Amino acid sequence: SIIPSFISWVAVGYIVYAMLDPTKGMINQVLTFFGKEGISWYSEPKYWPFILVITKTWQGVGLGSIIYYAALMGVDNELYEAADIDGAGKLQKTWFVSIPQIVPIIIIMGILDIGKIFRADFGLFYNVTRDVGALYPKTDVIDTYVFRALMQQGNLGMSAAVGLFQSVICFVTLMLTNAIIKKKSPENALF
């Protein structure tokens, strides 16, 4: 479903909290139902890399699916018919017809994702973790560090410098990735 893509991270944070609440959370209730002891999720950093990956995947998979589905709908049906005539099975049609036809979309999505690699999703890391200090060892990223430096220490200069540095690194990464793509496959580069 694409619906999670339109839910704000604040709402997602409350949904995750409803599932992980130490006393009334759904997951702890299931654990106690099966005779296991509940987990204090917000004081155990070791679980959070998995929780954040699952949450981000749930929130973002819908939009990516729509983009790839639209790309697949743009593949000419005659190519599939020709593959049928040649005796291709479903896996062969996927590998030799579908994927080569959507390579430009895969490359563009990859370039855009690589460009965002140093930009953590602030809403995810701040709202879902509820900014709990015990989780910082596993969930602290540049964005949350900058936010705390600004809000708690009032260090505007350092926050601005780190934000600018992060933007420059993202831009350079995007340009390098595009240059590599342009060298290997010029028709698929962004510019």
Average pLDDT, the chain: 90
pLDDT at residue 159, rounded to an integer: 85
pLDDT (mean) for 53-60? 91
Residues with Cβ within 8 Å of 19's Cβ and at least 6 positions away in sequence, in order, are: 25, 26, 27
For residue 115, give the nearest of 67, 165, 182, 174 by alpha carbon: 174
SS3 44: coil
pLDDT at residue 3, rounded to an integer: 83
Residues with Cβ within 8 Å of 106's Cβ and at least 6 positions away in sequence, in order, are: 68, 99
What does the block give as tokens for 105?
Answer: 């979309």
pLDDT in tens, 15-41: 999 999 988 999 999 999 999 999 999
Over pLDDT 70: what percentage of the chain?
99
Choose the weakest-confidence range: 52-66, 86-100, 113-127, 168-182. 113-127
Number of domains into which the chain is organized: 1
Q: With left for phi above 0 and alpha for psi between -120 and 50, is residue 53 left, alpha or beta?
A: alpha
What does the block give as tokens for 57?
Answer: 């995947």
pLDDT at residue 33, rounded to an integer: 94
pLDDT (mean) for 127-142? 91
More confident residue, 114 or 101: 101
pLDDT at residue 1, rounded to an integer: 67
Cα 11 to chain center, whole Å? 17
Amino acid at 23: T
Domain that holds residue 140: 3-188
Choose the weakest-confidence range: 20-24, 90-94, 119-123. 119-123
Asked if the model's pLDDT at residue 149 lies above 90, the reply is no
pLDDT at residue 81, rounded to an integer: 94
Residues with Cβ within 8 Å of 155's Cβ and at least 6 positions away in sequence, in order, are: 149
Asked if the model's pLDDT at residue 2 lies above 90, the reply is no
Asked if the model's pLDDT at residue 115 lies above 80, the reply is no
pLDDT at residue 4, rounded to an integer: 83
CATH number of the CATH domain containing 56 = 1.10.3720.10
Interatomic CA distance for residues 112 and 77, integer angstroms = 29
